[in-house]
Amino acid sequence: MTRYKVMAALTAGLLLVGGAQASALEQFKSFVASTKAAKGEFTQRQVKATNGDTPKAANNSSGTFVFARPGKFIWTYTKPYEQVLQADGDQLFIFDKDLNQVTTKKLGDALGSSPAAILFGSNDLEKNFTLSEGGTRDGLEWLKAVPKAKDTSFEQIAIGLKDGLPAAMELKDSFGQTSVLKFSKIEKNPALSATSFKFVVPKGADVFNN
């Protein structure tokens, strides 16, 4: 085979591989359609904007998550302190272990345009978000999601995908702060019982209803 033919074959192969790479929107829609439940681990850090200077990272945390559509999830912070956000599809429970305190809220429509709806909500994301491609960065295909509701505290959400799974999420709020989450050890459609998301108030805990 001549040098020209070798180069032509390599070029054709690269084009084929590039063409086979699904866009962020395609990957995410496939993930949503095929994933009724999932669990995994996360790390989270907040980046604060400081007077136009380079943003500075702060408040690193990590933990685990499990969810089942629609609107059921357990988001557990294990570091630097223990806190649990748990939703049973109707109510949200926030448990602070150090204070032994539980705060309860109705999920209602608030979940619809929140970051939680991206992973934990219904399949009808385009009802609450305007979705668009966000390009390639850090080895991930990015999807931009802008809430349609005007009263949400988040201006923009970006989801980074790789191999059909969400690998990262960036949440930009109206105060110039960005929360950066990275996901790992994601398991799709694990076996979950009917009581997996039933919240049990810890013994002696103070309960506040909002």
**String of b and e for 98-125 (b: at least 16 CB within 10 Å)?**
eeeebbeeebeeebbbbbbbbbbbeeeb
Is 16 domain-assigned? no
Single pTM value for the model: 0.80
Residue 12 lies in a domain: no
Residue 78 in domain: yes
In a domain, 120, yes or no: yes
Q: CB of 57 within 8 A of CB of 50? A: no
Residue 7 falls within a domain, yes or no? Answer: no
Task: Tell me if 107 is assigned to some domain.
Answer: yes
The CATH number that applies at residue 96 is 2.50.20.10
Both tokens of 96, joined, read 């602070």
Mean pLDDT by 10 residues, the chain (210 residues): 36 35 89 93 84 59 92 92 92 94 83 72 79 95 90 87 94 89 96 92 93
**Strand residues in 49-202 grouped as ranges (E):** 56-68, 72-79, 83-88, 91-96, 101-106, 129-137, 140-147, 154-162, 165-173, 178-188
Q: Which pLDDT does position 20 carry in this prediction?
A: 47
Domain limits at 162?
23-209
Total domains in the chain come to 1
Task: Judge whether 70 lies within some domain.
Answer: yes
